[in-house]
Amino acid sequence: TGDLYGKVALVTGGSRGIGEAVALRLARDGADVALTYRHSEERAERVVERIKALGRRARAVRADNADPTAVRAAVKTTVAEFGRLDILVNNAGAGVLAPIEEITAEDVDRVLHVNVRAPYLACQTAAGHMGEGGRIVTIGSCMAERVAFPGGSLYATGKAALTGLTKAPARELGPRGITANLVHPGPIDTDTNPADGPGAEAQRSLTALGRYGRPEEVAATVAHLAGAGGRYITGASVAVDGGFAA
């Protein structure tokens, strides 16, 4: 649609899966894009090359969400490199599924650091650099709305916390013309949750559409929220879940 020309986006976890699709879509819509990754440097650089081939600027930054300094630094690197920051997509996240009695205190710290503390710090740091028209989009999960099977206590707890990280910044940053929204994907075909994986059939059967989603289908909604169409949407949770929560 091309309404992001001149904008700069930062996508966390942009080397694979949903984050990769979001980074490419925002670039196709005109944005320059920085993306973070944890291990997959080669994959991240491949995404960067594809964005550059679209005529946009791109940069990959290694930043483990577990490290608060690295998360803040990734925001600052983006601003230093591209001169501004308009769109933050908090996408990087860890999934952990296990019976509640098997979850350790260390598991709780690790998952909440990656899935909650890092998006919080990214949001806080990014907001300091955003002006009128700034956009914060966080990737939650359908499990924040409907926990349809056992084992999700820790993952769902962290993802549900992102509602606070959406509604409160929407209120606080609204007067500056900055929006904050949450996207809840359903089962999306990625390395973490492959459509031919062991739990896939159960997840597919819980959707209304009877199928897995594609990363591009989540990216389309992120692009809408980040673009002109999202101007009057803030503090909202949007399910892109094939009716998983219906």
**Cα–Cα dist 148/144, whole Å:** 10
Q: Looking at 189-240, list the stretches that DSSP marks H as alpha helix, in order from N- to C-terminal side.
A: 200-206, 215-226
Instruction: Report the site for ligand NDP in 100-159 (rule: CB under 6 A).
Output: 114, 139, 141-142
- Whichever of 64 and 86 has its CB closer to ligand NDP, that residue is 64
Q: Active-site residue among 37, 155, 212, 232?
A: 155
CB of 125 to ligand NDP, least distance (A): 15
232 a catalytic residue:
no
- State the binding string over 187-226 for ligand NDP (x if CB under 6 A, else -): xx-xxxx---------------------------------
**Cα–Cα dist 164/104, whole Å:** 24
- State the binding string over 61-90 for ligand NDP (x if CB under 6 A, else -): ---xxx------------------------
Among positions 18, 34, 51, 61, the unique one binding ligand NDP when judged by CB under 6 A:
18
CB of 232 to ligand NDP, least distance (A): 25
74 — phi, psi (to 5°)?
-65, -40
**Site membership for ligand NDP, residue 234 (CB under 6 A):** no
Alpha-carbon separation of residue 235 from 120, 153, 157 (angstroms): 15, 24, 19
245 — phi, psi (to 5°)?
-90, 0
CB of 126 to ligand NDP, least distance (A): 15
At a CB cut-off of 8 Å and minimum separation 6, what does 154 contact?
96, 98, 100, 103, 107, 108, 111, 112
**Cα–Cα dist 110/115, whole Å:** 9
The residues assigned a catalytic role are 155
